[in-house]
């Protein structure tokens, strides 16, 4: 049988704009840490800028910008989660463990799959523009 979560602090039971704003602060702190510590973040940022400059240059339509935006966001989300998983795994153990290697490899593969998906989306959207 599951135990119910008992919250003793009344401030956690009610909705609070202050608490919601604080959660945004934590998210921005996470982005700052991500960009400060991860070299891949700069590569993703440059590629994102390149893609959106190309979108403006080629005047892609609303559906295409949605597809490109979702694909780009998918890569960013995967990279952020991969970074969090790797940091957590490193905190658990600095020693080699086959299970941690598997977790880190699968996490990195998620970024790879997201990047391939974004690349295919980019090819579908931008290649026809090159020949018009």
Identify whether the C-beta of residue 71 lies closer than 8 Å to the C-beta of residue 122.
Answer: yes
The predicted structure's pLDDT at residue 132 = 76
Between CA 116 and CA 76 the distance in angstroms is: 13
Q: How many CA atoms lie within 13 A of 68 on its CB side?
A: 23
pLDDT 10s digits, 69-125 = 999 999 999 999 999 999 999 999 989 999 999 999 999 999 999 999 999 999 999
Verdict on whether the full-model pTM lies above 0.85: no
pLDDT beyond 80 at 40: yes
Nearest Cα neighbor of 52 from 39, 36, 63, 68 is: 68
Classify domain 16-130 at the CATH class level: mainly alpha
Nearest Cα neighbor of 68 from 8, 7, 122 is: 122
Give the confidence band of 6 by pLDDT, cuts at 50, 70, 90. Answer: low
Q: How many CA atoms lie within 13 A of 89 on its CB side?
A: 20
Nearest Cα neighbor of 117 from 58, 57, 77, 59 is: 77
pLDDT beyond 60 at 66: yes
The predicted structure's pLDDT at residue 115 = 95
């Amino acid at each position: 049988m599951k135990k119910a979560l008992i919250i003793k602090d009344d401030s956690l039971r009610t909705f609070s704009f202050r608490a919601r704003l604080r959660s945004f602060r934590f998210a921005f702190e996470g982005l700052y840490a991500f960009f400060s510590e991860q070299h891949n973040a700069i590569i993703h940022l440059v590629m994102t800028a390149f893609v959106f400059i190309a979108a403006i240059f080629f005047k892609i339509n609303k559906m295409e910008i949605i597809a490109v935006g979702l694909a780009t966001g998918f890569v960013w989300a995967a990279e952020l989660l991969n970074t969090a998983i790797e940091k957590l795994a490193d905190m658990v153990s600095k020693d080699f463990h086959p299970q941690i290697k598997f977790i880190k490899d699968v996490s990195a593969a998620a970024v790879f799959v997201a990047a391939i998906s974004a690349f295919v989306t980019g090819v579908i959207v931008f290649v026809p523009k090159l020949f018009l």
